[in-house]
Amino acid sequence: MNEPRPSKAGSSPQTKSGQDFSAQIGVKAARKLHARRRDASGVWFGLGMMGLIGWSVVVPTLLGAALGLWLDRHYPGGHSWTLALLIGGLTVGCFNAWHWVTKEDAAIRGERDDHDD
């Protein structure tokens, strides 16, 4: 069997276009691996984000309602603290959810921009 001969000291087996081709293949392979890792966690990531957003709305709403009930029992007045603080907690929760959604959207757009380059 013939074995390949070693190349001479000064010569390179690949040309400039061969190196460019190898670099392109490396970039595409890295994109593919990243996409596979991202797809594997896509469903679970989506469910986790739905849960995070849900809890970020529910917790302040329930805390506002609980504080309002406590205030109504200990300091009764002409208006309902429960209703006012329930609405306040819901508002805070919605702003919190909006914050998480815009943060994740920016992260997703940033990843797309990084991979498009």
Higher model confidence: residue 27 or residue 35?
27
- Within a domain: 94: yes
- Within a domain: 11: no
- Within a domain: 92: yes
Higher model confidence: residue 84 or residue 17?
84
Q: Which residues contact 4 (CB under 8 A, 6 or more apart)?
A: none
- Within a domain: 23: no
pLDDT digits (tens, 9 = 90+) for 40-59: 456 777 777 788 889 999 99
Confidence (pLDDT) at 44: 74
- Within a domain: 9: no
Confidence (pLDDT) at 99: 92
- Within a domain: 2: no
Domain count within the chain: 1
Confidence (pLDDT) at 96: 93
Higher model confidence: residue 14 or residue 73?
73
- Within a domain: 29: no
pLDDT digits (tens, 9 = 90+) for 56-109: 999 999 999 999 999 999 998 888 999 999 999 999 999 999 998 898 888 878
Determine contact, residues 71/81, Cβ cutoff 8 Å: yes
- Find the helix packing angle between 42-74 and 16-40, rounded to 10°: 40
Q: Domain range spanning residue 104?
A: 43-116
- Within a domain: 78: yes
Distance of alpha carbon 12 from alpha carbon 99, whole angstroms = 54
Higher model confidence: residue 57 or residue 25?
57
Higher model confidence: residue 75 or residue 19?
75
